[in-house]
Amino acid sequence: MRAHRARSFGKVLVLAAVAVGLVGLSAWAQPIKLTVTSRAVRGGVNTQLVQWLEDVVFPAFVAAMRAQGKDVQVEFIQFGGTDEALKQQYALDLSVGRGADILGFDGFWIPEFVEAGLVKPLEWVAGPAVWQWEGWEFIPLGMREILGYRGEVYGIALGTDVRVIFYRRDLFEQAGILQPKVGIHEWQPRTWEELLDTARLIKERLPGVIPLQINAGTDMGEATTMQGWFMVLLGTGIHMYDFDAEKWYGQHPGILEALRFYKTVYIDEKLGDARMQLLPGARARTFEGFRDGKIAMLVEGDWFWRSVIAPGSEWAVPNREEMVGWAKMPAKEPGAGYRGQDFVTISGGTGFILNPNTSHPAEAWALLSFAFSKEMQLEFQRVQPRIRCRVDVPVLGDPAMTAMAEALLPLTTVRPMFPGYPKISYEAQLMTERVVAGLMTPEEAMAAYKDALEAIVGAGNVLIVP
């Protein structure tokens, strides 16, 4: 009886061993699956990113890995919601240890995710070997800081951007502002008053056209802060944050001037459409308006040029090069801008980070660094020419993009990279919303902003300049 039991026990053991072996073998034979996600949809928002990744990078990477004897599969998960919704998704995914292996990330999210322990430096995820990559030599410090925080690097930026005023040349010609016949091909306002005068002229001569749309309100999220609030505020000579005093401006004549500019545009003279800023889907509404020739001037980032109105996009402006011009955003008066500049702009950047929860850190890093090789980045330039993170990858085949970069990169500044920034940014959006909706005067809106600021960073970190 005992012998029998022992024998059957042995049998079970053998069977178990075989089973474990089979499972192990099948795991061995199964390809490594990597996933990448970002706010991009083929034929929709950021379609160029999907095209580049799915049509060029992934096949080349899979082939390269196969040559090394590794069977790898890569999948891109398209995300069609807003940036804010994606951030929300990431926060929820990462907090439970899930998410795609490589995540498309906006630089200004990094500090709060790092403070929450949700994202980790590249070195932590994939080991010190990441620093042996050839690409670092060509990525300047400034570009590394886009997805960096406190000296650590969390990912690689796709590049940086600048912000300008885009205008419809066809409408400008109809309004007589551009006169190709007498050689007036370009438009460049030098003061806020000149910008407003152009808008007034359009309002008078082209009824039904919205002359000037400056991003405002909370619906657009960060787009309001970057393309709207900063572009106006920097023109008064201040930033949201004083980098020397290490404090936030809570009350300042510059804030009031900027809010009064909004009031002039949206309330007093109705040069812009406040309704459009306040309804859900505000940003897409401005894209549509510009595409359909209903908005004459729109302050936007170069992303607008190279992705939103580019050929093949949902909001493509046919014949973009001839139909759309751009001008630098002037300071209130020449020399009155941030750092005494005549013109102002601000930069941000997005890129890709490694998910600290990835089961295949080495392969994920291999894919990330492969995508940022010179060869692959040059391929990306064919799909979407822009300012890339690698200095050995020039802007190719888009003179307008090159010109924007050359004219504005020397003038640019960045957001303060602190965990509290997104909350403060929201308060700035709310401040513009209250003014353009006519709920508060500029003075009241600034006072409410100051209160909110003090609640977020503490009264000791808020600058009051009467």
Partner 1 sequence: MGFLAPALIFIGVFLLFPFVWVFIISFTNRALTGPGAVSPSFVGLQNYLRLFDLQRWMRPGEFGNALWNTLFFVAGSAVLGQVPLGLGMALVFHRCRRALREAVFTLAIVAWILPGVTVAFTWIAFLDRDFGTLNAILTSLGLGAVDWYFDYPLLAIILFNIWRGTAFSMLLFSAALGTIPPSYWETSEVVGATGWQRFRDVIFPLIRPHVLTALILVTLWTFNVFTPYLITGGGPLFRSETVSMYTYRVAFRFLEFGRGATAAVIIMVINLILAVGYLVSLKRQAVYQ
Q: Contact residues for partner 1 (CB under 8 A)?
A: 84, 88, 91-92, 95, 109, 112-113, 115-118, 218-219, 275, 278-280, 419-420, 423, 426, 430, 433-434, 437, 439, 448, 451, 455
Distance CA 37, CA 77 (A): 5
Best CA proximity match to 140, nearest among 123, 153, 130, 122: 153
Amino acid at position 420, single letter: G
Our CB check for partner 1 shows the closer of 113 and 338 to be: 113
The letter for the amino acid at 443 is E
Q: Minimum Å distance from CB 276 to partner 1?
A: 10
Please say which residue, 230 or 418, places its beta carbon nearer to partner 1: 418
Q: How far apart are CA 430 and CA 415, in angstroms?
A: 18
CA 105 vs. chain centroid, Å, equals 8
d(CA 460, CA 453): 11
Nearer residue to partner 1 within complex by CB, 204 or 292: 292
> Over the range 300-316, which residues count as b (16 or more CB within 10 Å of their CB) and which as e?
bbbbbbbbbbbeebebe
Nearer to partner 1, 320 or 423 (CB): 423
Q: How far, in Å, CA of 386 to CA of 395, rounded?
A: 5
Q: Residue 91 or 417: which CB sits closer to partner 1?
A: 91
Burial string for 21-42 (b: 16+ CB within 10 Å, else e) reads eeeeeeeeeeebebbbbbbbbb
Specify the residue, 124 or 136, whose C-beta has the smaller distance to partner 1: 124
Q: Nearest approach, Cβ of 60 to partner 1 (angstroms)?
A: 35
Closer Cβ to partner 1, 13 or 116, answer by number: 116
| C-beta of 129 vs 455, nearer to partner 1 | 455
Q: How far is the CB of 405 from partner 1 (least distance, A)?
A: 32
Query: Least distance in Å: CB of 415 to partner 1?
Result: 16
For partner 1, give the closer residue by CB, 41 or 437: 437
Least Å distance, CB 88 to partner 1, is 6
Tokens of 345: 């702009």
Shortest Å distance, C-beta 349 to partner 1 = 19
* Tokens of residue 30, six digits: 């199964």
Shortest Cβ 89–partner 1 spacing (Å) = 10
State how far the Cα of 298 lies from the Cα of 167, in Å rounded to an integer: 6
Q: How far is the CB of 275 from partner 1 (least distance, A)?
A: 6
Counting every residue, how long is the chain? 466
234 within 8 A of 408, measured Cβ to Cβ? no
Q: Give the integer Cα–Cα distance in Å for 405 and 163.
A: 10
Shortest gap between Cβ of 222 and partner 1 (angstroms)? 13
Q: Which residues pair with 35 in a beta bridge?
A: 75
The Cα–Cα gap between 188 and 199 comes to: 13
Residue closer to partner 1 by CB (options 184, 455) is 455
Helix (H, G, I), strand (E, B) or coil at 35: strand
Contacts of 354 (CB under 8 A, 6+ apart): 101, 102, 103, 120, 122, 125, 126, 155, 361, 364, 365, 368
Shortest distance (Å) from residue 444 CB to partner 1: 10
CB of 95 to partner 1, least distance (A): 6
State the Cα angle at 344 between 460 and 185, rounded to 5°: 165
Contact criterion met (CB below 8 Å) for 107 and 348: yes
Write the CB contacts of 247 (distance below 8 Å, at least 6 apart in sequence).
Answer: 241, 461, 462, 463
Nearer to partner 1, 20 or 455 (CB): 455
Q: How far is the CB of 85 from partner 1 (least distance, A)?
A: 9
- Quick one: 331 or 436, whose CB is closer to partner 1? 436
